[in-house]
Chain A
């Protein structure tokens, strides 16, 4: 008689506790997400605040004269003259004219230090593009030295960093600023040039191209091999001890530290097969080894998620097993496989350790034009710059990280988009 009332009371009593634990759990979840977001925000603000400066760089305005005598060139089509020409003399002379009161060897050397030591070659390129300029005078903006660039930016920010400059250089920069002859411009060198010892001339083009060739090879090798392996294991291989053994080992490979793959590549591809070191071919091969387990595992999961009723329908119609796979299973599993491949590629793009082992850490100025040109890759470039003593490389490093991160974000977003787009429901 009283039992139902008692039960109701008991249920009501327990309600508070149950709701509290649910609320508590919700707050744990929110806290966890908050911590994650905070970490990402700190990372991004730090990188962006350090790196945004690298996208602009200081230029000086000089009135240069493309004097035939000074350069030692009278025929711009003669390659020998172009090589021997004293190009750096052009900006030097312009500086001497600008600051006519400077005398003495050491002061002059400091004066010449205002412009990048690549400025002469930039002027040479400009002259070759417009041969009519030879023998004429013009006002041009030339690249400033990295120390000037660093000082000028920090001075604009109100915290001048002049440790690498002499008092005179500081004074000259001040004069140039007052005359409007120094300014910050978009740093196109960052995207059009290869690596350099001089921070103001260094760019990530070489590393981006190296990454591109390496990843292209990785994709071309690892996707077909991985998908074929996954299809065979999932659809054709007999289920026995051997396939279990293979499965366990594929999972093991996915967990092997990537540097081991680098050592393997060094031992097999370079020392045994004599593939040249530092080239995208060997980098692509090593990253293929590293990416394969990821692609095989995600592809197998994608194949497993195809409902068995589709397989039965195909087999029941008299399709051979090969036709069943090619006509029905593969098209349905492909979105999952592509997602896996993109995630694998994103992993490979961010990988540096195995590439250190196979010589892709070399200092390479030329932009690679193919799979067999010496190259480095973006993460390794970041590693190299982070290791450089010049202060100007700090912001360059952060800028390169920003570029790498934006590639990764694009790849991961396209993986999500692709999955949503191609996903079929049945």
Chain B
């Protein structure tokens, strides 16, 4: 993707255009008719430094929305504010309104434990617990009290592993350590763990960046299947991945949401010149 423009002049010209105005307005189709999550005028700060500027966007039910953009553009920060993982960073402050099914996620009475059961997360680096495969998947249902009997729990574990297309590979060794799996298997285990509590939304923060191409292909296939039951927001560095798995693509640049459009349109006829510059590899 790094098609290098040999003409220095052109580079300089792009550089100039990279400056975004403070009153930058998101172009494209940000809003949908039946949104699962709605974000309005979201600003995120780390101490005094503003990481996200005035982002407003909807995530539709059962859609896969990809967030792309150059490093440091704030896409991960934005993703992590959707299930309040940013709460763990002490200097982080979120302003604006983030709602799921019309309920404000930052309302004082909302319990983050409930929120994170409804909005699951898969991280960049596979991070299974140093416990058995079974215990990894069973952990969520256990702490939320979702299974009444051992049989129920077994069923949840099997179903989750099947949905994460890992069951066939691990059914013989459910009680071996999850950390003994390969990187791709570990990441699918993390996905199984996340869907074991039947969340409504799954956030994925560059889930394939630590994986090889074959493992990546499996995860991408999985994302497509999962989108039938779950709403998925995925941050990715790979534009091909965004093109392959997502329905809509959001392009972030320097903390601002530049463009949101159906994925096909973003990669064929981007509306904004910055998006175009990024997808054609003139920077990034």
Contact = CB atoms under 8 A, between A and B. Distances in A.
Interface string B120-132: 1101010111100
Contacts of A307: 127
Contact of B139 (A309, A312, A317): A317
A332 B140 contact: no
Interface string B170-197: 0000000001000000000010011001
Given A238-B90, A313-B190, A318 B127 contact: no
A310 B127 contact: yes
A13 interface: no
Interface string A277-321: 000000000000000000000000000000101111111111110
Nearest to A307: B127
B129 A313 contact: yes
Interface residues of B, number: 26
Contacts of A239: 90
B82 to A, nearest CB: 12
A244 to B, nearest CB: 14
Given A238-B90, A426-B179, A316 B116 contact: yes
Contact of B116 (A318, A328, A424): A318
A323 interface: yes
Contacts of A424: 130
A314 B139 CA distance: 9
B127 A312 contact: yes
Contacts of B121: 316
Contact of B197 (A238, A317, A425): A317
Nearest to A306: B130
Contact of A312 (B85, B130, B179): B85
Contact of B194 (A238, A312, A317, A425): A317
B185 to A, nearest CB: 15
Interface string B9-28: 00000000000000000000
**Which of A239, A312, A313, A317 has the most C-beta atoms of chain B within 10 angstroms of its own C-beta?**
A317
Given A309-B125, A312-B123, A312-B127, A318 B144 contact: yes
A385 to B, nearest CB: 50
Q: Is the interface of B mostly helix, strand, loop or mixed?
A: helix
Contacts of A319: 113, 139, 143
Nearest to A320: B113
A317 B193 contact: yes
B83 interface: yes
B117 interface: yes
Nearest to B139: A317
B114 interface: yes
Contact of B127 (A238, A309, A332): A309
A344 B83 CA distance: 42
Interface string B56-81: 00000000000000000000000000
**Which of A310, A314, A316 has the most C-beta atoms of chain B within 10 angstroms of its own C-beta?**
A316
B113 A318 contact: yes
Interface string B122-162: 01010111100000000110011000000000000000000
Nearest to B118: A318
A320 B115 CA distance: 11
Nearest to A319: B143
A319 B115 CA distance: 11
Contact of B143 (A311, A313, A317): A317
B35 to A, nearest CB: 23
Contacts of B115: 318
Given A309-B123, A317-B116, A318-B116, A323 B130 contact: no
A318 B179 contact: no
Given A309-B125, A313-B190, A318 B130 contact: no
Contacts of A310: 127, 129-130
Interface string A82-125: 00000000000000000000000000000000000000000000
A323 B85 CA distance: 16
B268 interface: no
A328 to B, nearest CB: 6
B88 interface: yes
Question: What are the 6 A-B residue pairs with the smallest beta carbon separation, nearest first?
Answer: A318-B116, A309-B127, A316-B121, A318-B117, A313-B127, A317-B140
Given A313-B128, A315-B85, A316-B120, 18 more contacts: A238-B90, A310-B127, A310-B130, A312-B85, A312-B88, A312-B127, A314-B129, A317-B116, A317-B120, A317-B139, A317-B140, A317-B194, A318-B113, A318-B115, A318-B116, A318-B140, A320-B113, A426-B130
Interface of A: 238-239, 307, 309-320, 323, 327-328, 332, 424-426
14 contacts: A239-B90, A313-B128, A313-B190, A313-B193, A314-B139, A317-B140, A317-B143, A317-B197, A318-B140, A318-B144, A318-B197, A319-B113, A319-B139, A327-B139
